[in-house]
Amino acid sequence: MKFFALIVLIAGVVANKRFDKHQVLTLYPTTPEHLSFIQDLENDNNIVDFWSPDDATSVKINEKVDVRFSSAVLGNIKMKLQEQKMDYEVKIANLQQLIDEQLDLKQMRASKNGSYDYNVYHTYDEIQQWIADTANQYPNLARKSFFATSTEGRNVDMLTIGKSTDKPIFLIDCGVHAREWISPAFCQCFINRMLSQYGVDPQVTRMMDEMTWMIIPLLNVDGYEYTWANDRMWRKTRSKYDTFCTGVDANRNFDINWSGEGASTEPCSNTYCGPSVESEPVVKALSDIIRKYKGNIQGYIAFHSYSQVFVYPYSYAYEDTENAAQLNDVSSRAASAIQQTTSKIYTFGPGYESMYLVSGGSKDWAYQMGVPLSYTIELRDTGKYGFLLPESQIDGTCQEMFQAMIVLAEEAITNT
């Protein structure tokens, strides 16, 4: 698509990106020609951004596709879609408007009188301070520890919570993809509820007494900081490997079918797998934790957005795990718990079926390392807001997902 070339060069040098009149279109490919057209779009990554699935190679005939287009090419794209006789609908009409409206609890933010507000999005510095404050506030239940140093030199910290540090482990990470802000927001409210309700809520108390929870509230700290300061739609890390483009998709960087289907070896792709396995410091640190505690980690969850899906292995191949029936049953019960809480519908299934193929992903690798309950959980929503879920939906997300976590924790406890 050569008509994008000049715009790509211009877009690459603009800081503090705005997305005025960018649109997210839902495309409905029904023919091989439609599929080829969509896959050709990925060559223009700076102005064509795949949202769901997250790369063109995962697009399938008769399955809808969410793609963000720059206003500069939108007219041409719509004309070509008509020429291709491919149906589409406008899912988000003006992306910048959603970005401007995402922090929609400004009045509440201003009225908290300095206390930490779990219903708004926080910056990297605020989250770091919160981690330290939380460990100080609950010295008998929460322990802060250094996890990794990012490529750009930022600290990545972990909170280990529970009555004891020698119980079976449930490992959680949030924010591996920078633009998925609801993920670290959930991690924070989950930790807060576990700590504040210990000794009050019997379910929380059991979860804290019977499990050791190792939680990284914000994994991709460099990318996350970049979404606040420069480019709200940034996804990857901020690593540089002597290439024109920056960043690696950390969820394509683990040692399971690395660089295989569902991952890209092109540095400018949003699903770039990196120059080597575990090239990213946060991926190496997470892998080291799983290796260190191999045999004692009963559950692992990587929280993402969006789509409202419980995704279990495998994603790298059309293959089921030995405990697929268990993972399906747990997912079904967790989804039911959510529906009973907020009426939201979460689907579930192995990654190859419920989402799309992903090589080098964390949940597949964790399962291969002996973690029986291994999940990626895609939080709200199903595309109305996509990665720009308003602050007013943080609380509902936290409420529903906490009920799911009760189900997952109980499964881990009873099967230890």
- Tokens 């299934």 locate to 349
Handedness of CA 219, 221, 222, 225 (dihedral sign): positive
Collapsing DSSP to helix, strand or coil, 46 comes out as coil
- 133 vs 125: CA distance, rounded Å: 12
The neighbour count for residue 70, using CB atoms within 10 Å, is 22
Question: Cα(68)–Cα(232) distance, rounded to whole angstroms?
Answer: 13
| Catalytic residue positions, numbered | 378
d(CA 105, CA 110): 9
Q: Provide the residue type at 191 as one letter.
A: I
Q: Mutual orientation of helices 124-137 and 182-196 as an angle, nearest 10°?
A: 10
Q: Which residues contact 396 (CB under 8 A, 6 or more apart)?
A: 342, 344, 380
Helix (H, G, I), strand (E, B) or coil at 348: strand
Cβ count within 10 A of residue 274: 26
Q: Which residues contact 156 (CB under 8 A, 6 or more apart)?
A: 146, 147, 148, 149, 150, 216, 218, 219, 221, 281, 282, 285
Tokens describing residue 369: 């390392």
Residues facing residue 379 across a β-bridge: 305
Instruction: Round to whole Å and give the CA distance between 299 and 293.
Output: 12
Angle, to 10 degrees, between the axis of helix 394-414 and the axis of helix 182-196?
Answer: 60
CA angle 401, 404, 406 (to 5 degrees): 115
The dihedrals phi and psi of 118, each to the nearest 5 degrees, come to -85, -5
Cβ-contact 282, 148 below 8 angstroms: yes
User: Which amino acid, 300?
Assistant: Y
- Is the omega angle on the peptide bond into residue 88 within 30 degrees of 0, that is, cis? no
